[in-house]
Amino acid sequence: MQHVKNHSFHRQQGISLTGLILTLGVIVLMAILAAKVVPTIIEFSSIKKAIVYAQQSAKTVREIQTAFDKQAEVGYFDAVRGKDLSIVKNGENLEVSFAYTKKIPLFGPASLLLEYAGTTAKSGTVTKVQD
């Protein structure tokens, strides 16, 4: 009696070389984009904290601007200065707002434009910031 070997060829499953290269390319592009965007998000967070501190520690427009500029020096950000803040009186409180854009060059003519805005107003509505 002869044994017949039954060879069943199973199709291999997995990722092809082309698929691997494309997947790695997408991951690298996303990592590069994240490396360029994350610092602007950290800066935005620092600016929000600085306007809250300035509003709570000062009573006049000039004092708020000065306190904010001191926080900017400590926080190492320069996207917004005290003179760029919009400060309006709402009842007995002064509300502080800011808005700015960050342009991040990507490659060639392509760039990413991020628009940031923040306020100390309880309503969360940013007052018009003068350009």
Contact call for residues 87 and 61 (beta carbons, < 8 A): yes
Residue 44 lies in a domain: yes
Residue 80 lies in a domain: yes
- Give the chain's domain count: 1
Report the C-alpha gap between 15 and 104 in whole angstroms.
34
Mutual orientation of helices 17-57 and 61-75 as an angle, nearest 10°?
140
Q: How confident is the model at residue 35 (pLDDT cuts 50, 70, 90)?
A: very high
| pLDDT(9) > 70 | no
Residue 27 lies in a domain: no
Q: How confident is the model at residue 131 (pLDDT cuts 50, 70, 90)?
A: very low
| pLDDT(10) > 80 | no
Contact call for residues 68 and 50 (beta carbons, < 8 A): yes
What number of H helices and E strands is found in the chain?
Answer: 2, 3
Query: What's the domain range around 80?
Result: 40-119
Residue 18 lies in a domain: no
Which structure tokens are listed for 24? 């790695």
| pLDDT(4) > 70 | no
Report the C-alpha gap between 25 and 17 in whole angstroms.
12
